[in-house]
Amino acid sequence: MKLLSRLVIVITLTATTVAAQTKVTPPKNKYTPEQDVQIGREAAAEVRQQYPIINDDQINGYLDRLGARLVEAAPRELNNPVFQYSFSPVNLKDINAFALPGGPMFVNRGMMEAAQTEGEVAGVMSHELAHVLLRHGTANATKAQGFQIGALAGAIAGAVIGGGWGQVIQQGSQFGLGTWLMKYSREYEKQADLVGAQIMARAGYDPRDLANMFETIQRQGRNGGPEWLSSHPNPGNRTQYITQEASQLAIGPRPSQQRFLQTKTRLSQMGPARTMAEIERNGTVGGNTGGRPGGSAGRIGDNVPAPSRQYRTVQGGQLFTVTIPSNWQALSANNSIKYVPANGYGDFNGQRALTHGVEAGVARASSGNLDQATQTLIDGFVRGNNGMRVAGGGASSQLAGCRAIVTSLQGPSALGGVERVDVHTTLLSNGDLFYVVTVAPEQEVGVYGEAFDRVVRSVKLNDR
C-alpha cells in the first residue's frame, strides 16, 4: 500500500512537470519539411564554401556527439524524420552560431571558446536547434510576400549591391542568407529560447546556462557587436523568462564535461582564429578559384610598376583561363580573382581599394538575360563605390567568343584623380554572369590599355 502511494506521487509529479512547460506552437508555414531540407542543404553548401570549416576529428566528433544528444532530447512532435542534422565547427573568432532550415548547424570556434561550461555551448545549440524544429527560416519566408522556393538564388543575385570590388558576390550571398533565413523576429526568438530550454533540461543541462551565454554575448556586443545579436534580437527579459521556464523543468542527469574541456584545450592549441570582418576584408579562404586567397598586393600609394611585356597564362579555378602580365599576381576572393601589379590593391581608408589591375568573377543572375544581369551588376558597382558613375555604356562586344557588353565607369581614384573602370560581361551556359573588370587611373590608360586588351582577349571559358 505504501509502495503504491509513492508510485502515485511520482506519477503526479511527472505529469505536473510536463504540464508546466510552456507549449510552443510552430508558426504558419507554407513550405513542406522536405523543402526546408532542400533549402538548408543548398545554403549549407554555400556556407561550407565561404566559411573556414574546421576539419579536426576531435572537434568535429565532439560537436557531432553533443548535437546528437540534443536532437535526441528534442520534442518528438517537432522532430520531423526528414530533417538532416549536421554540426560543423567554424574557425572564426566571433561568438556566433547559426542553423539553416532542415538541420545544418554551424558553431563558431569563438562560441566554444567563450563558453564557461558545456551547458553554455549546449544552450546556444539548443536555441539554434529549436529554430530548425519550429521551422522559423521558412516561416519567415512564408511571411515575406512573393517568396517562392528557388527564389533563394534570386534573393542572392538581387543583393549584388554594396561593398567594394570583389566583395560584391560574397556580401551578396550573406545578405541573401541573412535576410531570408536567419533574421528572426522577437516572437520567434522567445519560442526558440523556450523550446531550447526544454531541450537542454531533457539533455541534462540547466537552461540557466543559456541565459548566462546570452549575457556573455550581450557583453561582447558592447565591444563591437557579434552578428549573432543582429540575427537573434533580444526579445527582452531573456534571463527572466528562461529562469522561469527552467524552474518548471526537470533537469536530466548531467553529462560529463570531460570532452568539453578536452575540446577547449584542442582549440587553444590551434593558431589564432580570424574574425568574419577580417575575412570579409581579405576575401574568403574557401573560394576555390585559383590564386592565393585574399590579401593585398603591397601598399596603395606606393609606386606601381608598369605591366611587364612578358605574359603568362593562369587558371581561373575550373572556369576559365586568362593570360596576364608576368609581373601581376593572382588574388582569389570568393567567386572572383584579381590580377594585380604590386601596390595595385590594398587597404585604403579602412577599405580595400583596387587602383590597377583586372578582376574576373561570377555573379549570380536569375534572369538569364545579359542586358538585365549586366544592369544589376553595374548598379551594384555604382552603389557600392562612392562617386562611381556610368561614363559610357552598353556597347556590344565579344568575350571568350560570346556576345558581351562593355560598360565604362568613372570614379574617384584612391590615388586622387579619376579611375577608369571597364566592365565586360557575358552569360555563362548556366545563366550566371561572368565579368571581367579592368581598373586603372585615367591618366595611365595609355600604359594599361594595351595590357587590358590583351588580358580581356585572352579569356577562355571552360563551361561550353
CB-nearer residue toward Zn ion: 232 or 364: 232
CB-nearer residue toward Zn ion: 122 or 456: 122
Number of other CB atoms surrounding residue 347 within 10 Å: 13
The Cα–Cα gap between 19 and 198 comes to 12
CB-nearer residue toward Zn ion: 96 or 167: 96
Provide the minimum distance between the beta carbon of 158 and Zn ion in the complex, in angstroms, as a whole number.
25
CB 395 within 8 A of CB 327: no
Provide the minimum distance between the beta carbon of 196 and Zn ion in the complex, in angstroms, as a whole number.
8
- Nearest partner of 293 among 334, 251, 347, 350, judged by Cα: 334
CB-nearer residue toward Zn ion: 131 or 274: 131
Provide the minimum distance between the beta carbon of 246 and Zn ion in the complex, in angstroms, as a whole number.
18
CB 97 within 8 A of CB 105: yes
Q: Supply the DSSP symbol for 255.
A: P
CB-nearer residue toward Zn ion: 192 or 314: 192
CB-nearer residue toward Zn ion: 51 or 184: 184
The Cα–Cα gap between 297 and 282 comes to 11
Provide the minimum distance between the beta carbon of 228 and Zn ion in the complex, in angstroms, as a whole number.
8
CB-nearer residue toward Zn ion: 128 or 432: 128
CB 85 within 8 A of CB 103: yes
Q: Kindly write down the DSSP assignment for every residue of 39-81, as one continuous string.
A: HHHHHHHHHHHHS-B---HHHHHHHHHHHHHHHHTS-TTT--T
Residues in the chain: 464
**Residue window 163-202: x/- pattern of binding to Zn ion, with contact defined by CB under 5 A:** ---------------------x----x--x----------
Provide the minimum distance between the beta carbon of 193 and Zn ion in the complex, in angstroms, as a whole number.
8
- Nearest partner of 415 among 345, 360, 339, judged by Cα: 345
Residue 320, Cβ density class (10 Å: 0-12 exposed, 13-18 middle, ≥19 buried): buried
CB-nearer residue toward Zn ion: 147 or 184: 184
Provide the minimum distance between the beta carbon of 265 and Zn ion in the complex, in angstroms, as a whole number.
29
CB 455 within 8 A of CB 358: yes
Provide the minimum distance between the beta carbon of 120 and Zn ion in the complex, in angstroms, as a whole number.
15
- Nearest partner of 34 among 156, 135, 154, judged by Cα: 135
- Report the Cα–Cα distance between both ends of the chain, in Å, rounded: 83
100 is an interface residue for Zn ion by CB under 5 A = no
Interactions with Zn ion, residue window 35-64 (CB under 5 A): none
> Which residue in the shown chain puts its C-beta closest to Zn ion?
232
Provide the minimum distance between the beta carbon of 417 and Zn ion in the complex, in angstroms, as a whole number.
48
CB-nearer residue toward Zn ion: 192 or 409: 192
- Residue position matching grid coordinates 513542406: 32
- Count of residues that interact with Zn ion, criterion CB under 5 A: 4
Provide the minimum distance between the beta carbon of 200 and Zn ion in the complex, in angstroms, as a whole number.
14
Amino acid at 419: E
- Nearest partner of 166 among 286, 280, 274, 277, judged by Cα: 280
Interactions with Zn ion, residue window 213-242 (CB under 5 A): 232
The Cα–Cα gap between 93 and 282 comes to 15
Interaction site with Zn ion (CB under 5 A): 184, 189, 192, 232
